[in-house]
Amino acid sequence: MKIKTLLLVGLVLASCCVPISAQNFDVYVSDAGNFNQGPWQILKFDQNGENGQVFISDHLAWPQDIFFLENENVVLISNLNTNSLTKFNATTGAYLGEFATGIVGPTRMELGPDSLLYVLQWQGNGKVKRYHLDGSFVDDFTATGVGTSIGLDWDADGNLYVSSYNGKLVRKFSPTGADLGIFISTNLVGPTNIWFAENGDLFVNDWSAGVIKRFDSQGNYLGVFATGVPQCEGVDFFPNGDIAIGVGGTSSVKVFSADGSFIKNLVPPSTLGLLLPNAVVFRPIQVNSSHEVFKDISFVTPNVGNYFQVSNPDATQPAASFEVFNSAGLFIQKINFADSTSWDASKLANGVYHLTSKMSDGTIARQKVVVQQ
pLDDT digits (tens, 9 = 90+) for 25-75: 999 999 999 999 999 999 999 999 999 999 999 999 999 999 999 878 999
The pLDDT value recorded for residue 120 is 98
**What CATH code would you report for 6-286?**
2.120.10.30
Instruction: Report CA torsion sign: 216, 220, 222, 226.
Output: positive
With 0.85 as the threshold, say if the pTM is over it: no
The pLDDT value recorded for residue 320 is 67
- List C-alpha distances in Å: 246 to 2, 253, 294: 18, 4, 40
Residue 5 has pLDDT above 60, yes or no: no
The pLDDT value recorded for residue 360 is 64
In 10 A of CB 363, how many CB atoms?
Answer: 15
The pLDDT value recorded for residue 236 is 95
- 193 Cβ neighbours under 8 A, 6+ residues apart: 108, 150, 151, 163, 204, 205, 232, 233, 234, 235
Averaged pLDDT, 156-167: 95
Residue 288 has pLDDT above 60, yes or no: no
Pairing state of beta strands 294-296 and 364-371?
parallel
The pLDDT value recorded for residue 338 is 64
> Residue ranges of the domains in the chain?
6-286, 294-371
Residue 305 has pLDDT above 50, yes or no: yes
Q: What percent of the chain has pLDDT over 90?
A: 65
Q: Return d(Cα 329, Cα 94) in angstroms, integer.
A: 22
Which of 1.10.10.10, 3.40.50.10490, 3.40.50.300, 2.60.40.2470 is the CATH number of 294-371?
Answer: 2.60.40.2470
The pLDDT value recorded for residue 316 is 54
Confidence band of 211 (pLDDT split at 50, 70, 90)? very high
